[in-house]
Amino acid sequence: MNQKEIVYVVSDSVGETAELIVKAVAAQFNGDYVEIQHYSYVQQIEDIENVIALSKQSSSIIVYTIVIPFLKKYLDQRAREEGIVVIDLINPLMEAFVQKFKTDPKCEPGLMRKLDANYFRRVKAIEFAVKYDDGREPQGLKRADIVLIGISRTSKTPLSIYLAHKGLNVANIPLVPEIAPPAELFEIGRNTCVGLVISPDKLNEIRRERLKSLGLTAQASYANLDRILEELDYAEKIMKRLGCPVIDVSNKAVEETADLILAMLKKRKVGV
């Protein structure tokens, strides 16, 4: 067959789903003779009429993914009137969801692309958290949504990754008495920074377990209570200097601390 047959892919969004399915089917018929023509972002009756006219002239098939109810109904009706073969790729499955799961669809075009955008935003946020973990490359602090500060074993890294899964760019800075914090830390907004503190006894317990897991003696200075008090005192001074909010993570799961930070962000956005 020399002349290519036309399939119109019609969608109230991009139409990628319909195109992939048409290509998969066409491949079973030596698909190189099928030409796919797009009608994307169909939002009005006039758009439907245009594709009906073209399809009638070329004796082609219309394949569509339209979730806007009145447009779907109109296209089906006009195709019947004109004797055009029209294939609805999405609504039969949507109806099955309604019947089986007893819930109603949103009927909003483009939701899958929004989900994809959110996915890629989370991926970038995770990459950001890894890149700026533990004080690396402090010049990135100004691009962070949140900067976590605290002494060792206050859950900075797991909290950074958890918040990154929410799509937030998070960096964290360890506070160590012998090492001055990066200058960039004092150049960011006070509400961007969140201090993490913990009770001395709880931290002593956590650090002892950490040393055991590494095969080291629990008597090392890392788990020494006097050293812990020194570090906590130093961290408190830095946090006061910054004027940032402080969260006690002593008896909190990462999720609980994250919820508090998200609530802070929400208040910041609405100006409360």
Write the pLDDT tens digit of every residue in 47-57: 999 999 999 98
What pLDDT is attached to residue 51? Answer: 92
Rounded to whole angstroms, what are the CA distances from 244 to 179, 225, 239? Answer: 20, 26, 6
pLDDT tens digits, one per residue of 85-124 = 999 998 898 889 989 888 888 877 777 666 667 778 888 9
More confident call, 189 vs 32: 189
Same domain, 94 and 159: no
Same domain, 137 and 200: yes
Q: Mean pLDDT for the chain?
A: 89
What pLDDT is attached to residue 210? Answer: 83
Question: Is the predicted pLDDT of residue 214 greater than 90, yes or no?
Answer: no
pLDDT band of residue 27 (cuts 50, 70, 90) is confident
Give me the sheet containing 34-39, strands edge to edge.
34-39, 5-11, 61-65, 85-88
8 Å CB contact between 209 and 160: no
- Last residue in a domain, options 59, 88, 109: 109
Average pLDDT over every residue of 224-237: 95
More confident call, 199 vs 58: 199
Range of the domain at 102: 5-109
Same domain, 60 and 128: no
Percent of the chain topping pLDDT 70: 94
Same domain, 248 and 263: yes
Same domain, 67 and 120: no
d(CA 183, CA 181): 6
- Last residue in a domain, options 44, 74, 109: 109
8 Å CB contact between 250 and 202: yes
Query: Coil, strand, or helix at residue 151?
Result: coil
Number of domains comprising the chain: 2
Tokens of 20: 């992939």
pLDDT band of residue 269 (cuts 50, 70, 90) is low
pTM: 0.61
d(CA 4, CA 6): 6
Closest among 128, 120, 123, 122 to 146, alpha carbons compared: 128
User: Can you give the CATH number for the domain in which 164 is found?
Assistant: 3.40.50
Question: Is the predicted pLDDT of residue 28 greater than 60, yes or no?
Answer: yes
Instruction: Give me Rg for the CA atoms of the chain.
Output: 29
Same domain, 156 and 71: no
Same domain, 156 and 198: yes
What pLDDT is attached to residue 134? Answer: 94
What pLDDT is attached to residue 218? Answer: 64
Q: Which residues contact 220 (CB under 8 A, 6 or more apart)?
A: 211
Question: Is the predicted pLDDT of residue 271 greater than 60, yes or no?
Answer: no
Residue length of the chain: 272
Match 């993914």 to its residue by tokens.
65
- Using alpha carbons only, give the angle 146, 151, 157 rounded to the nearest 5 degrees: 50
Same domain, 45 and 59: yes
Same domain, 82 and 151: no
Question: Is the predicted pLDDT of residue 1 greater than 60, yes or no?
Answer: no
Terminal Cα-to-Cα distance of the chain (whole angstroms): 68
Same domain, 72 and 86: yes
Question: Is the predicted pLDDT of residue 197 greater than 60, yes or no?
Answer: yes
pLDDT band of residue 272 (cuts 50, 70, 90) is very low
Same domain, 196 and 100: no
pLDDT band of residue 31 (cuts 50, 70, 90) is low
Average pLDDT over every residue of 23-28: 88
pLDDT tens digits, one per residue of 114-169 = 666 777 888 899 999 999 999 999 999 999 999 999 999 999 999 999 999 999 99
What H or E segment, with its residue span, contains residue 172? strand 170-174
Give the residues across from 100 on adjacent strands.
Answer: none
- Using alpha carbons only, give the angle 25, 29, 30 rounded to the nearest 5 degrees: 110
- Last residue in a domain, options 79, 109, 139: 109
Same domain, 94 and 187: no
Question: Is the predicted pLDDT of residue 176 greater than 50, yes or no?
Answer: yes
User: Can you give the CATH number for the domain in which 13 is found?
Assistant: 3.40.50.20
